[in-house]
Every structure is written in C-alpha cells, then in structure tokens.
Amino acid sequence: MIGPSSKMPRDPLSVLPMLRDQVRRLERPAATAHGVLPFGAAAIDRALPGGGLARGALHEVLGAGGDGEDGALAAAFVAGILARLVTAVDGIVLWCLARPDLHGAGLAACGLDPARLVLVRTARDSELLWAMEEGLRTSGVAAVVGEVGAFPAVASRRLQLAAERSGVTAFVLRRWCNGGQAARERNLPNAAATRWQIAALPSRPVTRFREGGDSRAGSGIGHPCWRVELLRCRGGEPAGWDVEVREGKMVDATDIVSLAEALADRPMAPGGGDTSPPEAIRRVG
C-alpha cells in the first residue's frame, strides 16, 4: 500500500498503473467468494478473475443494437449460462420480466429446461427490481434474472450486496433498451461484477466434406454468429470474441464454449420427444 513514507514519483500519472493493480488485487477475492462458473473456453476464462463467471454476484447483459434481434441473442446468452449453472447448483431460476414473451422451445434449445423457471411479471422497473432482490434472499433459488429498462446505480448496489450475502447469481438483462439508450448504458457505472454485450454477425457457411478429404461450403444460411464483448469486469480486463453457434457435441474444450455441456447426449425423453444436443458457442476469431 502507498503511505506517507512511500517514495512518490514526481509525475502523478505514473502512479496510476500501480494503483489500478492494487485495486484489482483487492477486488479479486471478493469477486470470486462463492466460486466461479467456467465457460470452458480458455480465451474467455482467462479474461475473468478466477477462471470463470463469478457466482453469487450480479452480471449485466446488453443487446448491442437495442432491437428485438440483439435482445433475443442476449436472452439466449443468459439462458445458456443458466443451463450450466443449474446443473452445478440445484434450484429454480426466477425470471422477472415485463413482457410475457419467453419461448420455452428457444430456452430448451439453449439447454435450459423451462420447468426450472418461475416467471414473475411486473408493470414497472421498480417492482421488477424489488422482486429480484426478494428472490436473491429466497432459499431454493439458483439464479435470478431481471429484464429492466432503467437500472439505477443504487438498485445495482442493492442487488450486488444481496447476491454476495446469499450466494445466488443475478443477471440484469437489458433486452429492450432503444439504440440510443443502449449506447449510453455501455459507459454508465453500476455495481455489476461484469457487463456483457451481444450482437449478431453475418453467418458463416457450413463446411461439408466430400470423399477424398476435400471440403466445400454447404448450402443454406449457415450457423449463426455472435459478437460477444466483455465491456467491464471487476478485477479483470475488457475483451471480445467472435463466436459461432452450432448444434452438436463439442469436444475441443479449448476452442468451445458449451452452453449446456452436461445435457449433451442425454437419454431419450419419455414419449420419444426431441432430444437433440444443445447449442454451443465456438470461437472463430
């Protein structure tokens, strides 16, 4: 620590890197007090303190453009994280929202069982934030999600403190910000441990192999691609990745972010329902 007896450089700006490093070291233990949830991709996990997403903390996820498409991608990103979380922590997911527009089949495609969800619909952001805070204090809850428009700094601090006390992970999903609001929200401070932004990229053609070992681009629209940005991370550094979302079991854990790896190759559902493997994210950048 820097005290009165420390030798301070003449240029005050030169001490800033040392101060930032001290702050990171102080923040890191608190950020991972309840453990972490690894993504399973070395590049992403290296950017996060402790090697994964902090559990028992508040995380914020934005759609880049503030439109329905990017908002849906942000919801899919959160659902995929929740699918991994509920396999590690037994409990329900409390999802608080203003519009009853979650699609069960879409959540299941990300690996999240809709039967694990309890939905709370509110008319105002203040009521939604209150429901989130109460959920963080409730036993049997693995995670809490809230889709909010306005997100005051005071409310973020209350949610972060509640998550730290209970060990329940919280996600604030900014799905319905308009374009201008989404741009402003990138730089507004709050108490979230991480801030993510998800955007759509042009899809990449599916590579198909022919006899003899050569390959060619397949027909169709190809696999969806996302731009995943870590805009802010307490105790870490901002970073970004281009990822490809595709079905199938992924085996190269250093190159893959499996959204619901534990559900892959699960047994046939009663009645012969669809049991296709969940989606995964592959780093392509």
Q: Is the pLDDT of residue 65 over 80?
A: no
- The residue whose two tokens read 């998800």 is 198
49 within domain boundaries? yes
Q: Is the pLDDT of residue 245 over 70?
A: yes
DSSP, res 140 = T
Q: Give the range of the structural domain holding residue 182, as residue numbers without chain letter.
A: 35-283
21 within domain boundaries? no
CATH number at residue 229: 3.40.50.300
Give the distance between the most distant pair of CA atoms in the chain: 75
20 within domain boundaries? no
CA 249, CA 75: separation in Å to the nearest integer?
Answer: 22
pLDDT, average across residues 17-23: 71
pLDDT, average across residues 225-231: 88
Q: Is the pLDDT of residue 261 over 50?
A: no
pLDDT recorded at residue 258: 45
The percent of residues above 90 in pLDDT, for the chain, comes to: 35
pLDDT, average across residues 101-112: 88
- From the list 250, 159, 132, 238, the residue with the least C-alpha distance to 194 is 238
- The residue whose two tokens read 């959920």 is 135
Q: State the total domains in the chain.
A: 1
User: What's the pLDDT tens digit per position in 151-194?
Assistant: 999 999 999 999 999 999 999 998 766 555 656 666 778 999 99
Half-sphere exposure of 46 (CA within 13 A, CB side): 8
| Residue 37, token pair as written in the block | 């949830």
55 within domain boundaries? yes
pLDDT, average across residues 55-75: 83
- From the list 158, 149, 165, 283, the residue with the least C-alpha distance to 225 is 283
Classified as helix, coil or strand, 45 is: helix
Bigger pLDDT: 115 vs 208: 115
pLDDT recorded at residue 263: 34
pLDDT, average across residues 252-259: 40
DSSP, res 277 = P
Q: Classify each residue of 234-243 as buried b or exposed e, where b means 16 or more C-beta atoms within 10 Å of its C-beta.
A: bbbeeeebeb
User: What's the pLDDT tens digit per position in 207-221?
Assistant: 655 555 555 555 567
Q: Is the pLDDT of residue 113 over 80?
A: yes
30 within domain boundaries? no
Task: Tell me, yes or no, if the pTM score tops 0.85.
Answer: no
191 within domain boundaries? yes
7 within domain boundaries? no
Bigger pLDDT: 92 vs 282: 92
64 within domain boundaries? yes
Weakest mean pLDDT among 30-39, 176-185, 205-214, 251-260? 251-260
